[in-house]
Structure 1
């Protein structure tokens, strides 16, 4: 099953709603790959012994993992954390998230600066490239359980927009914005 993504209509409604444009404008997994977003669909029920997940981790060098249960009952300062996650930012490294339970939205900036909303559900593993402007929120279920993967020790630093001179942002622009991509790194299954 492919991941669901669409161009987003920005407005003042609840950020946990889908925010479809009218008419709706869906975004293909291939289009996500063109802006550097990689995607796999795995079986979250067997994540502890999933050979495909282990192969992805080994091939990409993800040697650190933790689990985040994000809901009002389990996270101290829940509302503040969600506001922080929803503030547009970049990271110096990839952001790797594997949805084990629940649902949420990653919003990423397209080449023309439009928002694309990516709805992640159980089994969706996405990788956001270093330097892509993005943000995160839950959907109306108010719950998600995510596996977070890292290269080496985890780095939690978010660099809020504007960050156009940050080295990871400059590298992202060089690799995905100013360049026509030949071939697709998409690994969708």
Structure 2
């Protein structure tokens, strides 16, 4: 589970470097008790709610009567660069994909492979996107304030000037 710069895959990014940007990344092996371990970590970090991620979005989408074109729209939505108003944590138990997060000092993309056992926390105000590499990624999302997550902002002048974005950059010592 090695993060790297998308423009230069040979340039790795350590968990400590991600931590300096406000992202928390660790690995918790998927076992019968691992969700309890991650839930305990979530409580310690002040998360207030959790929800499972779909096991197979394509199958779930079809059961809801969605079309293949609408499924592609959903995948494109996940791939849009966005920020949220609340810190969010994700734990993947199966499947995979990629989270891309912005290096706030250079605006370069950092790619984080999503593999079973990945625990990744995103700070409020940080830009990120999710790229599906297959049929699904199953896991759990935790939210500090779920009402702020639902109001995620696609990258724009509005999101660049949002209170959460400015607070995020200021927390890193970057003039917003």
TM-score computed with the length of structure 2 as normaliser: 0.83
Structure 2 regions of 5+ residues with no counterpart? Answer: none
Q: What is residue 13 of structure 1 aligned with on the other side?
A: none
CA apart distance, 1:142: 2.5
Higher helix share: 2
Count, aligned residues = 163
Provide the alpha-carbon RMSD of the alignment. Answer: 2.0
Structure 1 regions of 5+ residues with no counterpart? Answer: 10-20, 180-189
TM-aligned CA distance change 1:95 to 1:56, over 3 Å = same
CA apart distance, 1:120: 1.4
Instruction: Say yes or no: does 1:66 pair with 2:45.
Output: no
Give per-residue Cα distances to partners, 1:39-84, cap 9 Å, x unaligned. Answer: 221132325762x323212211223111112432223432111111
Indicate conservation of the 8 Å contact 2:88/2:144, yes or no: no
Q: What is residue 31 of structure 1 aligned with on the other side?
A: 17
Aligned pairs (5 A) from 1:56-135: 56-69=41-54, 70-75=56-61, 76=66, 77-110=70-103, 111-135=105-129
Higher strand share: 2
Q: What is residue 4 of structure 2 aligned with on the other side?
A: 6
Indicate conservation of the 8 Å contact 1:4/1:120, yes or no: no
